[in-house]
């Protein structure tokens, strides 16, 4: 196989980001794009000089000779598209969250195992340059055993509306959209411990903040303040793992507090803080407490998360690498997300099997 021939499924916001980054992945060739809104597929195809565009995944796969598809559709359609593609003999990279819920994620994983097709989950923050630097410190023993992590992704007035705020398409609000990023990234850096229980609370008091005179930073194409908004505004959770470690999650689209994003990882030998402000190592030196700021602006092999993620997928299809962001990791993350929603709904701790 010379180049990996890819069909892009979905032609919205993240598909555009993937297209930009595929330009730098030399072994990838996006040969076709499909979207249930065929006009969007056509616009994106023309923008990047892709010759073929279709109104459905079925039509695209039937008409083209593909090696893989890249699933960039609403969460509710991840499983449907990924399963169809694998059953047609294609490898799949699927945007986060893996699926609408853990049940669908388990089905996707089972189809991947049955068909022998790759199923990689696009956990982009794993591939960020900053994550690579943090992992380097962890692998070299600077943190010791990590037993506590703060995982934060909170916007102040950042409800994007559109399909994101419509649970029938998204499966939920910031927990499934933003929390998924920091939960997976924290768990990845903690060495992928097994989650055993979750205790959570979620709120929906602020809705789409219709009357606020401040703009949301980013909204999807066509979204308005009158869109359905039946998802949580904000959630917090304590996620407990079998090794005794916990992640404390805060995630929100809207809250009367300052926005924040990043991880704080606390280990037996040191700690690290990512996100807002410089990457910092908290440790002890000469019996004093010392904070070290790490410059990640001039990394020799800087690449950007999306490009590194898509390059890994292509290398995996070519048999040069094995997938790190596996279907199993996607499923574990979905079990945590489902447990957060269930705990918030019932007010009780939820045990994860
Ligand atoms: N990695 C990231 O940082 C990141 C950022 C944004 C979105 N996402 C994920 O990407 C996915 C898409 O989000 P988006 O912001 O691009 O949304 P979007 O609405 O901009 O684009 C999604 C597109 O999918 C199309 N679509 C829906 N169902 C389809 C189907 N069955 N077949 C073909 N096309 C279909 C829609 O018509 C739409 O054009 C979501 O799962 C989201 O969570 C990831």
Ligand 1 atom nearest to CA at 40: 39
**Strands of 40-164, DSSP E:** 52-54, 68-71, 91-95, 119-122, 146-154
Alpha carbons 296 and 10: distance in angstroms, whole number: 33
Q: Please tell me whether residues 139 and 39 are part of one structural domain.
A: no
Q: Has residue 193 got a pLDDT over 80?
A: yes
pLDDT digits (tens, 9 = 90+) for 115-129: 999 999 999 999 999
Total H helices, total E strands in the chain: 11, 15
Mean pLDDT of 317-327: 97
Question: From the CB of 163, is ligand 1 less than 6 Å away?
Answer: yes
**Packing angle of the helix pair 38-48, 13-22 (nearest 10 deg):** 20
| Closest-CA residue to 199 (of 336, 329, 52, 60) | 336
Alpha carbon nearest to ligand 1 atom 15, residue: 13
Alpha carbon nearest to ligand 1 atom 28, residue: 73
Q: Please tell me whether residues 196 and 310 are part of one structural domain.
A: no
Domain assignment present for residue 247? The answer is yes
Q: What's 196's domain CATH number? A: 3.30.360.10
Q: Please tell me whether residues 110 and 147 are part of one structural domain.
A: no
Q: Please tell me whether residues 216 and 238 are part of one structural domain.
A: yes
Number of domains in the chain: 2
Q: Please tell me whether residues 99 and 168 are part of one structural domain.
A: no
Share of the chain above pLDDT 90, in %: 90
Q: Please tell me whether residues 178 and 166 are part of one structural domain.
A: yes
Q: Please tell me whether residues 84 and 31 are part of one structural domain.
A: yes
Domain that holds residue 187: 128-303+333-351
Q: Has residue 41 got a pLDDT over 90?
A: yes
343 CA to centre of ligand 1 in angstroms: 27
Domain assignment present for residue 328? The answer is no
Q: How confident is the model at residue 330 (pLDDT cuts 50, 70, 90)?
A: very high
pLDDT digits (tens, 9 = 90+) for 219-246: 787 888 888 999 999 999 999 999 999 9
Question: From the CB of 17, is ligand 1 less than 6 Å away?
Answer: no
Judge whether 264 and 245 are in contact, CB under 8 Å: no
Q: Please tell me whether residues 139 and 260 are part of one structural domain.
A: yes
Q: How confident is the model at residue 214 (pLDDT cuts 50, 70, 90)?
A: confident
Q: Has residue 300 got a pLDDT over 80?
A: yes
pTM of the model: 0.97
22 CA to centre of ligand 1 in angstroms: 17
């Amino acid at each position: 196989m010379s180049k990996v021939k890819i069909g892009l499924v979905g032609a919205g916001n993240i598909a555009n980001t993937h297209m930009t980054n595929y330009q730098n992945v030399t072994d990838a060739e996006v040969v076709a794009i499909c979207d249930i809104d065929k006009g969007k597929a056509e616009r994106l195809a023309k923008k990047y000089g892709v010759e073929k565009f279709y109104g459905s995944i079925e039509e695209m796969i039937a008409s083209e000779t593909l090696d893989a598809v890249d699933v960039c559709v609403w969460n509710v359609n991840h499983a449907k598209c990924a399963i169809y593609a694998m059953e047609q003999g294609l490898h799949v990279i699927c945007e986060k969250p893996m699926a609408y819920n853990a049940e669908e994620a388990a089905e996707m994983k089972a189809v991947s195992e049955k068909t022998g097709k790759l199923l990689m989950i696009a956990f982009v923050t794993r591939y960020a340059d900053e994550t690579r630097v943090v992992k380097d410190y962890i692998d070299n023993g600077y943190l010791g055993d990590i037993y506590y992590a703060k995982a934060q992704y909170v916007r102040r007035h950042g409800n994007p509306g559109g399909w994101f705020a419509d649970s029938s398409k998204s499966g939920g609000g910031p927990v499934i959209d933003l929390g998924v990023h920091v939960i997976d990234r924290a768990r990845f850096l903690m060495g992928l411990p097994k989650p055993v229980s979750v205790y959570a609370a979620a709120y929906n008091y602020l809705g789409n903040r219709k009357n606020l005179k401040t703009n949301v930073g980013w909204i999807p194409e066509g979204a308005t303040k009158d869109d359905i908004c039946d998802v949580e505004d904000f959630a917090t959770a304590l996620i407990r793992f079998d090794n005794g470690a916990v992640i404390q999650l805060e995630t929100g689209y809207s809250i009367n507090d300052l926005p924040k994003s990043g991880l704080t990882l606390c280990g037996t030998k040191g700690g690290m803080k990512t996100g807002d402000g410089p990457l910092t190592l908290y440790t002890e030196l000469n019996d004093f407490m010392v904070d070290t700021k790490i410059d990640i602006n001039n990394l020799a092999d800087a690449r950007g998360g999306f490009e590194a993620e898509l390059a890994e997928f292509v290398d995996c299809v070519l048999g040069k690498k094995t997938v790190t962001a596996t279907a199993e990791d996607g499923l574990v993350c979905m079990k945590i997300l489902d447990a957060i929603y269930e705990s918030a709904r019932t007010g009780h701790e939820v045990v994860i099997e």
